[in-house]
Amino acid sequence: MVLMYYLKMATSSFKTIFLFLIFLILINISSFCINIDSILTETVNNYKNIKTIQSDIIDKYSGPKGQEKYSGNYFSNGEFTKINFNKPYKQQILITKDSILWYFPDDSKIYIGLKTQKPDIKALQMENNISKEFLNSDNYKIEKTIEKKLFSSRIKVVATPKVKRTSKFSGIIIYIDPKRSVITDAEYYDLAGNEIIEQHFRRFKNFNNIWLSTHITSNIFSSIGDIKTDIIYKNTFINQNISDDNFILKYPKGITTFKLF
């Protein structure tokens, strides 16, 4: 009886292992069936379909000067991004195509800078509007591969500038979830090949067949120290009309201005 018991156990274990191996083979076969170009097109279209975003926002900051937690609201129409922080103190940030204005009403100070001067500032506006330009840009050489894991696969896209001297980055690496056609991770490298920005997109929500990340972690590596931000979006609406008034930065005439950088 004991022998029969162990034979049954051994047979059962063998069946389990056999079925598991078959399962892994099927996973590997399905990963080879991924049409990379089709997924990239769907990914670009997913982000192109996001015209506007308005949301409550929580921004947890950790850097050389300590830790802070900010909260307020966020508006973006792709061309302009406006962030109004109310806690722990008032801040208004307006990001345009070429510049950034940072206004502190309680201190009557406004900081003005060109966005092109700092690549990490561009990351502020790339939240949920990331990198569609790098997926089909004529200025970048695109290499596409499939990375297989035990139970999943992801697409790795390496974008290298064709003319390095006119580029801001020596390379950009983007990782895509082929099931949802969304970017899950991104890495940015400076002209010397050093990683300067790393972003992770999590907690995707489906808004009328448009996937959007609601939790974004960014790590910025700089000479003054590493900076980490965790941005959480709540009560989010997309593709609704946003009044132009939301993208106006109102401040008194004669206010003291400073260079941001």
Q: Is the pLDDT of residue 31 over 80?
A: no
CB 155 within 8 A of CB 39: yes
pLDDT digits (tens, 9 = 90+) for 48-67: 888 899 999 999 989 888 99
- What's the length of the chain? 261
Amino acid letter at 258? Answer: F
pLDDT of residue 123: 44
pLDDT of residue 177: 92
Mean pLDDT of the 40-44 span: 85
pLDDT of residue 148: 83
Cα–Cα distance measured from residue 158 to residue 106, given in angstroms and rounded to the nearest whole number: 44
Q: Is the pLDDT of residue 39 over 70?
A: yes
Integer angstrom CA distances of residue 98 from 4, 82, 113, 130: 77, 14, 9, 16
Q: Is the pLDDT of residue 196 over 70?
A: yes
Cα–Cα distance measured from residue 25 to residue 38, given in angstroms and rounded to the nearest whole number: 23
pLDDT of residue 68: 92
Query: pLDDT tier at 41 (50, 70, 90 boundaries)?
Result: confident
